Structure 1
Amino acid sequence: MDSPYIGEFIFIYLLCISKYFLIMKNNEAVEAVKEIRVMMEKSSRFLSFSGTSAILIGLYALAGAFVARGIISPVKEIPDEYSTPGWITIAPHIILVALIVFVLSLSTILFFSARKAKKMNHSFINGPAYRTFLNFFLPLTVGGIFCVALLVEGDVGIIAPVMLLFYGLSLINASKYTYGNIFWLGCSELLLGLICAFFPGKGLLLWAIGFGILHIVYGIYFYFRIERYSAA
């Protein structure tokens, strides 16, 4: 082989080698950026939420709505009882049903979130978890106390929209510290709450859709599109 061709061959060979290492370095840089991003998300966001818990919460809500309907129906069917004293009579039962649904829902979230955190090999009790729960429960607690006051005073027509609205605000408020798509679930709850405000007679039905159906749909979406994908 003539020397000019040898030189050209060496030049092409070195050029290919340099491009190869450049590509390798670029790939390593991309992988490093991805790792940094994952670490930042773990340190700044609550990522232990489980789609299974959302599905179960929806089922609890539907069961609670069914029980509440049985409690409310006699009061609505008797004209003399459709008054503040009548609602005060059933208020403890409604509050009890709501508390049972709430305790079951909270226990389910904590159980599945702790189990997922263990699978992901990171702590369940951390800064992002505190921020998420604080931003979620602060408006939710205010809304819950407000709803109890409405129930005791007999202003039952606006309880369902108030619950949906405060719950939607709680989800939106907490979405900054966990999965961003929870924001859209919160917006859906807000929209449903506004619709419910204009149709108070359908309050329990819309409440069941908001806390029951929407949770089940979101839980299924989250499990198959996010949770299984991230676990793979």
Structure 2
Amino acid sequence: MNQKHQEDLAHIRSMMERSSRFISLSGLSGVFAGLSALIGGMYVYLLFKSNGIDYLTDEHRSYSFALVKELFWTGVAIMFFAVLFGIFFTIRKSRKYSLPIWTSATKNMLFNLGVPLVAGGIFCLALIYNGIFGFVAPATLIFYGLAVINAEKYTFSDVKYLGFSQLLLGLISLFLIGYGLIFWIIGFGILHILYGLIMFRKYK
């Protein structure tokens, strides 16, 4: 009887977790989001070089309007592919394990994730509008880290480690203005890949 009770309790806990947390998130989403960021980061570095800017050695950089515009659309493209991969692997995992996608937990996670991201996006647009480019990369890391930490209670608790890592990187990069691209590649590229691989192995 004790074993049956334990099995029943385990089943109840599993049902409660499914109803209160978004567990269709796939580690592969993180891997491919990281790969998108790495490719995008390398493209930005080459873009700087083609515009006569040696990112790693030039202390004083001037950005033309055309360059800023191309950097902006590169960022949009990276975000688009990251979201696209996230949707694809989430749907694939939910179908494989017969998990519901659009639940109250999904809505709560997206809301808690979205508020800091939208605020951060507007803040970054204001930085670009005022020509304060050096703080854009740190701001993206900081607001993204806060967003992930804020959404953690509605998905896997492990994501908070990714959030705190992004936040820490962003705060450090505030004191190393001029190296934001390097921190950005580490945060959105390398950390996402490492996190995705760990999550994939743990929750596959």
TM-score, length of structure 1 as denominator length? 0.81
Residue in structure 1 matched with residue 19 of structure 2 by the alignment: 43
2:4 aligned to which of 16, 19, 28: 28
Using the TM superposition, give the Cα deviation of residue 118 of structure 1 relative to its aligned residue in structure 2, in angstroms. 1.2
Residue in structure 2 matched with residue 144 of structure 1 by the alignment: 121
2:41 aligned to which of 55, 61, 65: 65
2:144 aligned to which of 135, 148, 167: 167
Whether the aligned pair in 1 keeps the contact of 2:24 and 2:99 (CA below 8 Å) is no
In the aligned structure 2, how far is the partner of 1:44 from the partner of 1:116?
Answer: 18
Using the TM superposition, give the Cα deviation of residue 70 of structure 1 relative to its aligned residue in structure 2, in angstroms. 2.5
TM-score, length of structure 2 as denominator length? 0.92
Count residues in correspondence: 199
5+ residue gaps, structure 1, are 1-24
Using the TM superposition, give the Cα deviation of residue 152 of structure 1 relative to its aligned residue in structure 2, in angstroms. 2.7
Query: RMSD across aligned C-alpha pairs, in angstroms?
Result: 1.6
Using the TM superposition, give the Cα deviation of residue 87 of structure 1 relative to its aligned residue in structure 2, in angstroms. 4.2
Using the TM superposition, give the Cα deviation of residue 76 of structure 1 relative to its aligned residue in structure 2, in angstroms. 4.2
In the aligned structure 1, how far is the partner of 2:33 from the partner of 2:178?
Answer: 24
Residue in structure 2 matched with residue 199 of structure 1 by the alignment: 176
In the aligned structure 1, how far is the partner of 2:17 from the partner of 2:8?
Answer: 14
In the aligned structure 1, how far is the partner of 2:141 from the partner of 2:14?
Answer: 33
Are 1:154 and 2:119 an aligned pair? no
Greater RCO, CA 8 A, separation 6+: 2
Give the 3-state SS of the residue equivalent to 1:185 in structure 2. Answer: helix
Using the TM superposition, give the Cα deviation of residue 32 of structure 1 relative to its aligned residue in structure 2, in angstroms. 0.7
Fraction of identical pairs, as percent: 38
More helix by percentage: 1
Could you tell me which amino acid in structure 2 is paired with residue 160 of structure 1?
A
Distance 1:72 1:137, change over 3 A: farther
In the aligned structure 2, how far is the partner of 1:59 from the partner of 1:176?
Answer: 26
In the aligned structure 2, how far is the partner of 1:223 from the partner of 1:118?
Answer: 16
Could you tell me which amino acid in structure 2 is paired with residue 198 of structure 1?
F
Residue in structure 2 matched with residue 210 of structure 1 by the alignment: 187
In the aligned structure 2, how far is the partner of 1:33 from the partner of 1:136?
Answer: 31
In the aligned structure 2, how far is the partner of 1:158 from the partner of 1:165?
Answer: 11
In the aligned structure 2, how far is the partner of 1:72 from the partner of 1:174?
Answer: 35
